[in-house]
Structure 1
């Protein structure tokens, strides 16, 4: 049992995308129900494992926040760039004058995830949250290392906003 839990942790640590209980079960030659039980035991023992729509993600990766400003034309480029640098996009955050901090879950770990998000917006005639704040928004990123995060910042330097930033009024502080 301990060996299997260690194998599950290793699988989650080495994958940058969510891994389903069925996929883990196949890799380890056990049932999906056993994996679900093992995940529950791992969580109870202090491992931070998140359940996503497509499987499990170990939350031992470093979390970083970037703040950007761009229009709808650069949205796909932003998402693809973050993914190509090896990071996942957990959420989008805007700061509204009246409502304060608004967080939308994204959980984008691949170009397929990004394409589905963009298609859902387009097919339903929806706009990104950042339209409310003239393109200004933040993302929480899950990156394997600081180096990966630095790569994201270097690739997106043209749309990044450096802090300090006054989100209350959506303007750069002097």
Structure 2
């Protein structure tokens, strides 16, 4: 499976987060069709984003954070990204990622790990000083965030705040086609 760097970083982090045991660099290299050296560089990039990846002689692993995750579907304009992220972090939650579901390309994701207003500012500075546009632009403002919090109550507060701000897109129940 050949992935672009950002998608590969997201998938490596996800694999480590979901694994109960360490994953060797060779195994990651084989999974993502890259060299072991590329995996070492990717792990360094993830650590630079404050992702707690540990190394042992058996491979890489992450401590499983104790808490809860929920995925929220959002919709807003680009000039409302800061407000959305600040709503979440101000309630004590972490925005782990952003992804879109594209009808042709499928899921396109990026790791954020935004936990504070300072992180939001850095993220927005990166967007403003880049030739790239926010990921949600390819789906007309629709996107998803995986949000982590220490308790369900915080996630409920995040959901209420996003709904009150008009950002939350209610999930439609599955309808069987006739």
- For the aligned pair, the TM-score class normalised by the smaller chain equals 0.5 to 0.7
Kindly state the Cα deviation for residue 91 of structure 1 after the two structures are TM-superposed.
0.3
Matching residue within 61, 77, 80 for 1:74: 80
Answer yes or no: is 1:109 the counterpart of 2:110.
no
Residues 108-147 of structure 1 mapped to structure 2, 5 A cutoff: 108-147=114-153
In the alignment, the residues of structure 2 paired with residue 111 and residue 78 of structure 1 have an alpha-carbon distance, to the nearest angstrom, of 11
- Could you tell me whether the CA contact under 8 Å between 1:65 and 1:139 is conserved in 2? yes
Answer yes or no: is 1:160 the counterpart of 2:168.
yes
In the alignment, the residues of structure 2 paired with residue 119 and residue 130 of structure 1 have an alpha-carbon distance, to the nearest angstrom, of 17
| Counterpart in the other structure of 2:70 | 64
Task: Choose 1 or 2 for highest CA Rg.
Answer: 1
Structure 1 residues not aligned, in runs of 5+ = 1-42, 167-174
For the aligned residue pairs, the C-alpha RMSD in angstroms reads 2.3
| Counterpart in the other structure of 1:54 | 50
Kindly state the Cα deviation for residue 53 of structure 1 after the two structures are TM-superposed.
2.4
Kindly state the Cα deviation for residue 44 of structure 1 after the two structures are TM-superposed.
5.7
Cα shift readout 1:38-93 (whole Å, capped 9, x = no counterpart): xxxxx869xxxx95623637522111110010011110000000000110000001
Cα shift readout 1:66-122 (whole Å, capped 9, x = no counterpart): 001001111000000000011000000101111101111111111111111100110
Give the 3 Å change call, closer, same or farther, for CA 95–61 of structure 1 in structure 2.
same
In the alignment, the residues of structure 1 paired with residue 130 and residue 145 of structure 2 have an alpha-carbon distance, to the nearest angstrom, of 23
Structure 2 residues not aligned, in runs of 5+ = 1-19, 23-45, 53-62
* TM-score under structure 2 length normalisation: 0.61
Kindly state the Cα deviation for residue 136 of structure 1 after the two structures are TM-superposed.
0.3
Kindly state the Cα deviation for residue 125 of structure 1 after the two structures are TM-superposed.
3.2
| Counterpart in the other structure of 2:99 | 93
* TM-score under structure 1 length normalisation: 0.63
In the alignment, the residues of structure 1 paired with residue 156 and residue 49 of structure 2 have an alpha-carbon distance, to the nearest angstrom, of 28
